[in-house]
Amino acid sequence: MIKRLRGTYDVLPQDAIKWQYVEDVFSVILERYGYREIRTPVIEETSLFTRSIGETTDIVTKEMYTFLDQKGRSITLRPEGTASVVRAFLEGSISPDALTKLYYWGDMFRYDRPQKGRYREFCQVGVEAIGSAIPALDAEVISLAMCLLETLGLKDLKLNLNSVGCVDCRRVYYEKLKDYFNSSTVVTMGKLCPTCQKRLEKNPMRIFDCKEENCQRTIEKAPTIAESLCSNCTLAFENLKKYLSLLDIPFVLNTRLVRGLDYYTRTAFEITYEKMGSPQQNALAAGGRYDNLIQELGGPPTPAIGFAMGMERILLAMEIAKVNIPTGKKVEIYFVSLGEVAFQEAFKIIDRLRRKGFYVYATTSGRSLKSQLREADRLCVGYTLILGGDELSRRVVMLRDMENSTQREIPLKDLEDELAKL
């Protein structure tokens, strides 16, 4: 038998309800904050990702699903959403002057090591606010992320915050980092992993994001970006903290937070849920500013900020927090019919009721009364309608309330009106 691929999963009907619930809650809140949905393709030209995410990142060096198409073009299944949204923003000539707020849902693909909360095909919901560098916007975006998660009933979330500076701050900082990693203190701790040795030359800050134990040990004593921030970045960071305080949003400064994508500038943040267990998989949301990305992808200089959340991890967190998912009140009816003649009549009525908005389930073959009622029980419907030859000849149908086991007859001509009152 063919099995699903490693690192992928199926959402079975009982779980699809949970996904739909999160999607419903989120879309309402996203719209309230002024975001509009954007949908982009799952496949893109590979260079879109290598140019934006960065040549030395984990994603680009080892996690992308890349293949050549029939004409030999290099195509990649998107590993994240921002690059595609920016490409669409530029290609769709969305006005760069006004602040553009976009959100997306979608499957992302990364050749990650599969484990709980980490898949090779996973779903992210994300936002991008394009067109403003004002720190109040950063605070608003972070507040939105918190609001989304808190509205689901998740508490004790931790907001980790850092500023990764701009190109100027990093020029200074990279030199300090290179000195540190080449110093005797580090060298005696053992070698950096081969990937990080390359990173040391090209992008030493990337070493912070390495998951190798030895590399992790060496970064503990590394100089932090905080001391290298230029005056503009320092001011922006102070303002962001001020605005977060105005919104009563607590945060923890984490100078080692660099995020796994190269395009971030200034604000970088991550929202973690510590009850999730493994610190490797406890980030529910992550994001930051990317003030240079749009220009790097060929657009006019346009500052922007965004975040992405992992749906699987959110659902896992909801399970751990024992969040109750409210089941929307809808009238569900099982239609029992007995005999071919009644079945034909029921067949017509059922179709009419569904078109009027009722949730009607029924069997398609002439099964016994007992077996149909058993099916109604299994589906946990609130009501059953029973139509036999006798009822049909009197133009009535039996309505049974499954909860208190009472039943009454309803004239067929009044059926819709009566059901509407349930």
Q: Which is nearer to ligand ATP, 263 or 335 (CB)?
A: 263
Closest separation between CB of residue 53 and ligand ATP, Å? 9
Q: Which is nearer to ligand ATP, 44 or 312 (CB)?
A: 312
Render 209-252 in DSSP notation, one character per residue: G---HHHHHHHTTSPPGGGG--HHHHHHHHHHHHHHHHTT---E
Secondary structure of residue 49 in the 3-state scheme: helix
Closest separation between CB of residue 285 and ligand ATP, Å? 6
Token match 């720190």: residue?
A: 135
Closest separation between CB of residue 118 and ligand ATP, Å? 4
Q: Which two tokens stand for residue 392?
A: 């049909």
Q: Which is nearer to ligand ATP, 7 or 96 (CB)?
A: 7
Q: Which is nearer to ligand ATP, 119 or 335 (CB)?
A: 119
What is the number of the residue whose Cβ is closest to ligand ATP? 310
Vertex 41, ends 39 and 42: CA angle to 5°? 115
Secondary structure of residue 308 in the 3-state scheme: strand
- Residue 361 labeled ligand binder: no
Contact 283, 259 (CB under 8 A): no
Q: Which is nearer to ligand ATP, 72 or 279 (CB)?
A: 279
- Residue 259 labeled ligand binder: yes
Which of these, 82, 60, 64, 159, lies nearest to 126 by C-alpha position? 82
Residue ranges in contact with ligand ATP by CB under 6 A:
80, 110, 112, 117-119, 122, 124, 259-260, 283-286, 308-310, 312-313
Q: Which two tokens stand for residue 389?
A: 């030859």
Q: Which is nearer to ligand ATP, 259 or 266 (CB)?
A: 259
- Residue 220 labeled ligand binder: no
Dist. CA 291–CA 289, nearest whole Å: 6
Q: Is 77 exposed, middle or buried (0-12, 13-18, 19+ CB in 10 A)?
A: buried
Closest separation between CB of residue 268 and ligand ATP, Å? 10
Dist. CA 8–CA 214, nearest whole Å: 30
Q: Which is nearer to ligand ATP, 119 or 263 (CB)?
A: 119
CA distances (Å), origin 305, targets 136, 232, 287, 420: 11, 17, 8, 47
Q: How many other C-beta atoms lie within 10 A of the C-beta of residue 132? A: 17
Closest separation between CB of residue 225 and ligand ATP, Å? 17
Contact 247, 135 (CB under 8 A): no
Closest separation between CB of residue 281 and ligand ATP, Å? 6
- Residue 264 labeled ligand binder: yes
| Angle of the 13-32 helix axis to the 311-320 helix axis, nearest 10 | 110
- Residue 267 labeled ligand binder: no
Closest separation between CB of residue 158 and ligand ATP, Å? 13
- Residue 33 labeled ligand binder: no
Contact 307, 141 (CB under 8 A): yes
Closest separation between CB of residue 149 and ligand ATP, Å? 11
Q: Which is nearer to ligand ATP, 139 or 285 (CB)?
A: 285
Q: How many other C-beta atoms lie within 10 A of the C-beta of residue 367? A: 15
Scanning 227-339, the segments in alpha helix (DSSP H) are 231-246, 293-296, 311-320
Residue ranges of the binding site: 80-82, 110, 124, 128, 259, 263-264
Residue ranges of the binding site for L-histidine: 80-82, 110, 124, 128, 259, 263-264
